[in-house]
Structure 1
């Protein structure tokens, strides 16, 4: 597999897998839209539709003093729109230089467009999700295609690129396995996945939920956590990031007889006084 694909695929999984871990996203129920909407909200990106009568412009990205906007051809099939939206997000996340990007039939071979296409394919059909669906859940080609909301062509090329990365010298075997998989026989593609499954799983498990997201999810459930559960809360360098995550979160520290405990609470569930009392009680029990 060429260096371009490996580099962009790896960079994409760095941000995507961390997001999946932070949000405990189900592999079998994965859909790109969770990650896409998270990015749209985080970076305040405006998404709109457009229509050109010649259908030459599939997608547009504009980055200027007014902000960031993506647009897509409204008359395209839904699966094509999905690919375009992730493609445009790729220009932004991959930090491509420029203020204007246009996805068209005429520029598909440009370096930046190829990178955005790889990003889109990986976000729509992540390695770990393909392994889960095809190898462990034994889903048909059609079922995988429908659940991930992609076109037949997109899934076909994704499987080709994905398997070539692991088997650079087995091109004919890969093509034959995919062809028979499309026809309803998964034995050949199952064998290919079997030999690389540990690599795919290992790569995914290199990522762990961040402290911020662990704390946020826990507070969302019970309203209150302390450094007894998450010792890194004692490091005040982490406090700003935690409070920036939500206007409802507050964090503080109490001391007693040489011991200290940091605590985070949801101010809509506990008053400052109530939270402090809970922290002081835990401190006494330490």
Structure 2
């Protein structure tokens, strides 16, 4: 990673952490206990976003080429619709929803992403947007506090077993 990428990554991480803390407060839970649906519910309730599960055939009514489509965001000045492929595994669906929420948060223009797909190839800027949305999705699904908590639990478990085995 070069310096600009590191700076951007830290900026994304700060935005993700801020969102996680906001959503955790709204749900009266610790951020380490957050689930993907807490975040999607927050956006549905507070940002006029509608989540729409679609199968491959239904996607084809929106865009011509559905090869490799996991999800897309359609938005205008009043609301946004996140469509995701409900024929994918649940984990893929969760990642796609968080990825599209990443677009909503980070890329505030009114461009809809199916228009990018119909142009066949992403521009260099669009590739950056996709990478940012992927990073945001990963940070929202596996937040820092949850990972640290899991590592601490594992370390304590290993230490306890080690202590039992040496006695």
Q: Work out whether the TM-score is over 0.5.
A: yes
1:10 aligns to 2:22 (yes or no)? no
1:28-63 deviations in whole A, cap 9, x for unaligned? Answer: 543121122111111121111223365421111011
Q: Secondary structure at the match of 2:110?
A: coil
1:138 aligns to 2:154 (yes or no)? yes
Question: Could you say which residue in structure 1 is the equivalent of 2:60?
Answer: none
**Distance change (3 Å), C-alpha of 1:66 and 1:27:** closer
Question: Could you say which residue in structure 2 is the equivalent of 1:198?
Answer: none
**Distance change (3 Å), C-alpha of 1:18 and 1:64:** closer
**Displacement of 1:133:** 1.5
**Distance change (3 Å), C-alpha of 1:56 and 1:27:** same
Question: Could you say which residue in structure 1 is the equivalent of 2:146?
Answer: 129
Q: 2:32·2:146 contact (CA, 8 Å) conserved in 1?
A: yes
**Displacement of 1:88:** 0.6
Q: 1:96·1:112 contact (CA, 8 Å) conserved in 2?
A: no
Count how many residue pairs are aligned between Structure 1 and Structure 2. Answer: 140
**Displacement of 1:97:** 2.1
Q: 2:23·2:38 contact (CA, 8 Å) conserved in 1?
A: no
Q: Secondary structure at the match of 1:98?
A: coil
Q: Distance in 2 between matches of 1:65 and 1:28?
A: 33
In the superposition, the TM-score normalised over structure 1's length comes to 0.43
For structure 2, the residue ranges without an aligned partner over 5 or more in a row are 58-65, 160-167
Question: Could you say which residue in structure 2 is the equivalent of 1:60?
Answer: 72
Task: Say which one has the larger Rg.
Answer: 1
**Displacement of 1:78:** 0.5
Q: Secondary structure at the match of 1:39?
A: helix
Q: Secondary structure at the match of 1:133?
A: helix
1:83-114 deviations in whole A, cap 9, x for unaligned? Answer: 00011111112243233024979659711111
Q: What is the aligned counterpart of 1:120 among 137, 156, 159?
A: 137
1:36 aligns to 2:1 (yes or no)? no
Q: Distance in 2 between matches of 1:11 and 1:60?
A: 21
Q: 2:71·2:100 contact (CA, 8 Å) conserved in 1?
A: yes
Q: Distance in 2 between matches of 1:65 and 1:83?
A: 25
Greater length-normalized contact order (CA 8 Å, ≥ 6 residues apart): 2
Q: Distance in 2 between matches of 1:59 and 1:72?
A: 4
Instruction: Give the number of the structure whose residues are more often helix, by fraction.
Output: 2
Q: Distance in 2 between matches of 1:85 and 1:101?
A: 14
1:80 aligns to 2:84 (yes or no)? no
Q: What is the aligned counterpart of 2:52 among 48, 51, 57?
A: 48
Q: Distance in 2 between matches of 1:16 and 1:106?
A: 32
Instruction: Give the number of the structure whose residues are more often strand, by fraction.
Output: 1
Q: Distance in 1 between matches of 2:102 and 2:85?
A: 17
